[in-house]
Chains A and B, each alone.
Chain A
Amino acid sequence: MTIMPSLPLPSDQPRKRPAAIELIGIDKRFGTVHANRDIHLVVEKGTIHGIVGENGAGKSTLMSILYGFYHADHGRILIDGEDVTISSSQAAIRHGIGMVHQQFMLVDNFTVLENIILGAEGDPLVAKAEKRARELLERLARDYDLKVHPDAVVSTLSVGEQQRVEILKALFRGAETLILDEPTAVLTPAEADHLFRILAQLKDEGKTVLLITHKLREIMAITDTVSVMRQGEMVATWPTRDVSVEMIAEAMVGRRVLLRVDKGHSNPGRVLLAADHLTVTDGRGVTVVDDVSLSVRAGEIVGIAGVAGNGQSELIEALAGIITPTSGRISLAGEDVSGLDPADLRDRGLAHLPEDRQRVGLVLPFGGGENIILGYQDDPAYARGMFLDWGKITSTAKRFFASYDVRPGNASLRAALFSGGNQQKIVCAREIERDPSVLLVGQPTRGVDIGAIEFIHKRLIALRDRGKAILLISAELDEIRSLSDRVLVMCGGRIVGECAPETPESEIGLMMAGLAEGAGERTRPRANEGSVP
């Protein structure tokens, strides 16, 4: 462990006014998992306080305790200097704590106004509350640039606007302290800037903001204080102006961070996967993938950058045969495979590491062996006559578990009992060990601990070096840039450009927001750039 500046114990310090929130000795275990260890935290009134940490560091647990979802096993919570017990989210709201969740808690087919007053009507007749909410909305729109049309139906709003509705909900309930959990994960850079302006104004009004994130840039840009969590512990709290990104990163990981993945040059061969003018329309008739053409060659990783919800997921699903494109062609190693189902595509050497391993990639109540054959249940290698050969399946699962260091190495345990990183390793083993010629990869390291991230990245690069084609989507621009040999940028369902992975983040960011044309469409043709056959 790196030596950190020791923290003055919060309660020892005389203060002029009480802190907005003070946590003393918060401790929480889930079974054998020690999610929060003796956490001390002081959040001063009228500041923006950032909390950073890797996935699984315990940030969400801590905030859930503060918001009344969980109870701490030990420890005290002080709000404005007074000891409080927060037993439910209602209690948290009463104490002036509002939370903006990562996944919005809105009723899609209600209007903005209805969503804001939901659960806080305060009167059997909603008209009164609506009037109150409408007045407040007008004031807030004026004061904070929190513009949302009160009568708009939520499902018609953009993601950024929906987030504003969440913030308005909290303010309507009288929140003095606002907790935002990874608020920018779904926003374009411009929307994120807008959010930060709102947060800065809230701060000027004397509100307190707790910002949970793992994006260090955001911490540097808007917070006054930053606290770092690692493995359930609060390892440091610093005034933001006194620290550098490198210091925070090191504190988060506990060692020097290798920001780039070690990989050699790519030697792209022939085109293995190609999409030709692919268009996908969703159930509502909205075009989510719009005339996309791309190609991936043997021995290269092509990354697709984009803000979540810009068609990347649907593109991957269409390529994997899960959803049927409305038009366009897909070819695999030069052969037209349009309209084939996932099973046919697997037979032809296409593997798919899905974005959502828990809902798509695994059947959680199934054991390791049963999950190892998911998608490959037709393989004659796993059959004995008309029956499944469980002996063979179990031994395969054991082999995969061993070579991917899945812990625990017990292949009969239900998949639900493994940690996120180990679940992902199970899926990786299944998809990569079959030695596919093309691998589609969605969010390979979301919710995965750092050790597993490096492991998975290495396996992906090894697969590339064996001359396979990989198409990667990820919400982490850093991951896209460090793994890919070429980067395509998607916005609004279209591929808006292509660039080299070395392209500055800001430039890619502009393309992701649809504000700049990429090099691919402009000039700079690359030697290895694949043209659609």
Chain B
Amino acid sequence: MSQASRELPPFVDYVVLPVVNVITAFIAAGLVVLAISENPVEVVKIMIVGALGTPEGLGYTLYYTTNFIFTGLSVAVAYHAGLFNIGPEGQAAVAGIGVALVTLAFDGAPWWLVLPFAVAAAMVFGAAWAFIPAWLQARRGSHIVITTIMFNFLAATLIVYLLVNVMGKAGSMAPETKMLSDATRLPLFGTLLKPLGIDLGQSPVNPTFLIAIAACVAVWLLIWHTRLGYEIRTAGTNPQAAVYAGIDPARIIIISMLISGGLTGLLAVNEVMAVQGRLLTDVAQGAGFVGIAVALMGRSHPLGIALAAFLFGILYQGGAELSFDIPKITRDMIVVIQALVILFAGALGNMYRPMLERIFARRPDRRAEETEA
């Protein structure tokens, strides 16, 4: 005789609720813009035009989107297993080492030949960095939130050490590897599409974006259409039922964290093999943390993640334009907006739920309670 639970129609749950949350975040951000005596409408205009108004701007937006999709999917897969992976930053950094090792080893070879190996190295290295916290959680009960945060710092230190002492460019003070040759470096869409008359300017979007879209489909298939995905969701939703069903939660923790780390690792292909053409100390540049917001906003569903990643791409690119046009607004403003989105879409994600329930609540099917007194 519990309170009859109410069910929201899926489109309300997956579309209306996040949209209302984001709108609230933007209204709050608008108030912040007002507070520094700028015109919010003007700000929005500059951002939208900057992010979507030109092919080059769109190219930048999609470049950011690529990274956010990888980290968003990574956080989401772990989340389905009931784990909070805070470590994409570190996993991306270590994956960067892997990509650098492979691409430098094959330097000079054509990019399409090197790409599969770079992708494999990115996933293996990212997964390896996630494996240790996963093992500690599964076998020793060390909380994965704590260990993945710690591993972010370890990765940052490791990469600096390697770039300074081992992998660094000879005869240079800069902590970076040598530049990849043009043949090996992944070409940008700008270069590839120029013959077709599409001008994306200097924008760094590249074929990794297609890998990101493929990853969305793969994660969707994995989570909802494979046995492993079913086991991940069962273990993440109800570990006791998982044990009853013969699913080993420890195994699921390790496997899903490997997948999670592997997905984040793909970010390194985008950064190291394409955009930067070399390994720098900061591979993810905050995309790991944005991935948490993206996964929260996208309700851990690949479609939602793709949309949320695109939104954050707009915020990043639009924010960059904004800081050019309005000196008073710096990139920190974007961090504020981001924080507000995380606050309203994540932490306060269910704030509007009772209200929406009153409006949309589908009474649980009458027949459901026929037998209940």
Contact = CB atoms under 8 A, between A and B. Distances in A.
A420 interface: yes
Interface stretch (B164-172, B194-202, B236-244, B268-276): B236-244
Nearest to A418: B368
A423 to B, nearest CB: 11
B365 A419 contact: no
Interface string A330-344: 000000000001111
Interface residues of B, number: 36
B369 interface: yes
Contacts of A410: 365
Nearest to A30: B4
A387 B241 CA distance: 22
B225 A32 contact: no
A449 B1 CA distance: 11
B372 A56 contact: yes
Interface stretch (B44-52, B66-74, B226-234, B327-335): B226-234
A528 interface: no
A322 B368 contact: no
A113 B371 CA distance: 44
B259 to A, nearest CB: 15
B246 A362 contact: no
Interface string B234-268: 10011011011111100000000000000000000
B367 interface: yes
Interface in B285-310: none
Contacts of A362: 238, 241
Interface string A409-434: 11001101111111000000000000
Given A31-B363, A388-B226, A449-B371, A375 B245 contact: yes
A73 B365 CA distance: 22
Nearest to A373: B230
Contacts of A82: none
B372 A346 contact: no
Interface stretch (A160-168, A307-315, A353-361): A353-361
A370 interface: yes
B238 A419 contact: no
B125 to A, nearest CB: 26
A343 B246 contact: yes
Interface string B336-373: 00000000000000000000000000011111111111
Contacts of B225: 387-388, 390
Contact of A375 (B2, B246, B365, B373): B246
B101 to A, nearest CB: 31
Interface string A351-392: 010101001111111100010011101100001001110100
Given A377-B230, A417-B365, A61 B1 contact: yes
Given A344-B246, A361-B241, A364-B238, A452 B7 contact: no
A31 B371 contact: no
A407 B244 contact: no
Contact of B237 (A344, A345, A363): A363
A324 to B, nearest CB: 11
A375 B230 contact: no
A359 B244 CA distance: 10
B37 interface: no
B241 A408 contact: no
A32 B373 CA distance: 10
Interface string A224-266: 0000001110000000000000000000000000000000000
B367 A408 contact: yes
B13 to A, nearest CB: 12
Contacts of B364: 31-32, 417
B156 to A, nearest CB: 37
B4 A342 contact: no
A35 interface: yes
B241 A359 contact: yes
Contact of B372 (A33, A352, A366, A377): A33
Contacts of B226: 386-388
B249 to A, nearest CB: 12
A374 B241 contact: yes
Contacts of B237: 363, 365-366
A345 B244 CA distance: 11
Contacts of A407: 367-368, 370-371
B231 A32 contact: no
B368 A387 contact: no
Contacts of A413: 365, 368
Given A32-B363, A346-B246, A377-B227, A417 B372 contact: no
A295 B371 CA distance: 37
A504 to B, nearest CB: 32
A32 B245 contact: no
A6 B368 CA distance: 33
Interface string A267-311: 000000000000000000000000000000000000000000000
A231 B227 contact: no
A422 B246 CA distance: 24
A510 B3 CA distance: 39
A246 B190 CA distance: 87
A452 B370 CA distance: 12
B147 to A, nearest CB: 23
Interface in B80-102: none
A410 B7 CA distance: 14
A419 B367 CA distance: 10
B221 interface: yes
A31 to B, nearest CB: 3
Nearest to B2: A30
B373 A232 contact: yes
Contacts of A232: 373
A451 interface: yes
A408 B365 CA distance: 7
A322 B373 contact: no
A362 B240 CA distance: 9
A341 B246 contact: yes
Given A342-B245, A390-B225, A377 B366 contact: no
B90 to A, nearest CB: 31
Nearest to B242: A363
Given A360-B240, A416-B5, A387 B248 contact: no
B157 to A, nearest CB: 38
A422 B227 CA distance: 26
Nearest to A59: B1
A231 B373 CA distance: 5
A57 interface: yes
A386 B226 CA distance: 7
Contact of A58 (B3, B370, B373): B373
Q: Pick the 6 closest A-B CB pairs, nearest first.
A: A343-B246, A31-B4, A408-B367, A419-B372, A342-B246, A375-B245
21 contacts: A30-B1, A30-B3, A31-B6, A31-B364, A32-B366, A33-B1, A56-B1, A342-B244, A359-B240, A359-B241, A362-B238, A374-B234, A374-B245, A377-B230, A377-B234, A407-B370, A419-B368, A419-B371, A422-B368, A449-B371, A451-B371
Given A409-B367, A449-B371, 13 more contacts: A33-B372, A56-B373, A231-B373, A359-B241, A363-B237, A366-B233, A388-B227, A388-B230, A407-B367, A413-B365, A413-B368, A418-B368, A419-B372
